[in-house]
């Protein structure tokens, strides 16, 4: 199993948009003991093609094996690793329990990271943040002393720059 000590790689896979294709790819990774950190899938501009973006931590040999095994699947059209110059984004939703006294500090954190407060109640607030995975990680570190009730990350979605 890949450890976090290895570099993060983002794999982009273009596949035929067929029922069960995402499950087959995830299953192939599982059968070969490749650990997926995040996975995102969506239809491309061509409704017959889906882009699957997978984030892994792996050494170069393991990454090469992942690519070779993925390329062998029937529905796969193209597999490639996105370089560090690619455009990568994630979406985070986070719900924080707070009393009115903590609201100004939470608003300050949101402002620094350009997060949006999308819901506010007397007991909690929900923020939305979009950005590079490193930005999301840094944002989450700011909430060590706060009451995080829930959070959800989408996983990386990415495109190469031209």
Per-residue pLDDT tens over the stretch 89-134 = 999 999 999 888 889 999 999 999 999 999 999 999 999 999 999 9
Class of domain 87-159: alpha beta
154's CB contacts (< 8 A; 6+ apart) are 38, 40, 90, 91, 92
State the SS3 of 36-77.
Answer: CCEEEEEECCCCCEEEEEEEEECCHHHHHHHHHHHHCCCCEE
Nearest to 35 by CA among 12, 15, 6, 73: 6
The verdict on domain 8-82 having CATH code 3.40.50.2300 is no
Q: Can you give the pLDDT at residue 3?
A: 52
**Domain pair 8-82 / 87-159, same fold:** yes
Nearest to 129 by CA among 154, 104, 158: 154
State which H helix or E strand residue 99 sits in: none
Q: Where are the domains of the chain?
A: 8-82, 87-159
At 119, list the tokens.
Answer: 């819901």
């Amino acid at each position: 199993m890949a450890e976090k000590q290895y570099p993060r790689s983002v794999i982009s896979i273009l596949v035929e948009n067929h029922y069960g294709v995402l499950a087959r790819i995830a299953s192939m990774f599982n059968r070969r003991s490749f650990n997926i950190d995040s996975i995102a899938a969506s239809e491309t501009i061509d409704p017959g093609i889906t882009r699957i973006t997978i984030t892994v931590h792996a050494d170069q040999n393991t990454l090469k094996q992942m690519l070779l095994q993925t390329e062998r699947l029937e529905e796969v059209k193209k597999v490639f690793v996105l370089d560090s110059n690619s455009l990568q984004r994630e979406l985070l939703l986070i719900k924080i329990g707070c009393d009115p006294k903590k609201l100004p500090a939470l608003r300050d954190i949101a402002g620094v990271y350009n997060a949006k407060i999308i819901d506010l109640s007397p007991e909690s607030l929900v923020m939305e943040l979009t950005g590079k995975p490193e930005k999301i990680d840094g944002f989450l570190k700011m909430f060590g002393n706060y009451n995080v009730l829930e959070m959800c990350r989408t996983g990386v979605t990415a495109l190469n720059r031209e």
